[in-house]
Amino acid sequence: MSTMYSAKVMDHFANPRNVGELADANGVGEVGNAKCGDIMKMYLKIENNVIEDVKFKTFGCGAAIATSSIATEMIKGKTIDEALQLTNKAVVEALDGLPPVKLHCSVLAEQAVKSALSDYYTRQGVDPTPIIGCMSDDCHACSCEGQHE
């Protein structure tokens, strides 16, 4: 079974980076879906527009854990604008690929980061929708299409 996963996926599954919670997080996002069974929670500590620290907790399969782990590595130390550029495609590429049936995990990793950034903006008194877009609990679609420009 491990042959369908790259060495990087297996490494991030077996040795996930940045696991846990941040008590002083100023952005927290949780995404998941009963259909896919994976739930990701992302904690961000942002200072001066830079993601100083990031942690995650994921309930799900090995691919969900690996995508969460690599996503945290990809945004740690980056500016908010750089983190907003994170895409599920970039997550998949950083892991040297995922099986097609597991691509939704990379979508959830992207959404978890954006959900935490949305929470950060909300805590700052800023409407996150024009910056981040619509956040949806669904793995595959945005239920509020057309509500933002």
CA 134 to chain centre: 15
**142 in active site:** no
Are the beta carbons of 121 and 86 closer than 8 angstroms?
Answer: no
Q: How far is the CA of 146 from the CAs of 26, 130, 133, 142, 143, in angstroms?
A: 29, 12, 10, 10, 9
Distance of alpha carbon 75 from alpha carbon 49, whole angstroms: 12
Are the beta carbons of 115 and 133 closer than 8 angstroms?
Answer: no
Helix, strand or coil, per DSSP, at residue 32: strand
**105 in active site:** yes
Token match 């952005």: residue? 27
Catalytic residue (one of 105, 139, 142, 144): 105
Are the beta carbons of 95 and 70 closer than 8 angstroms?
Answer: yes
Q: Which residues are catalytic, by number?
A: 36, 105
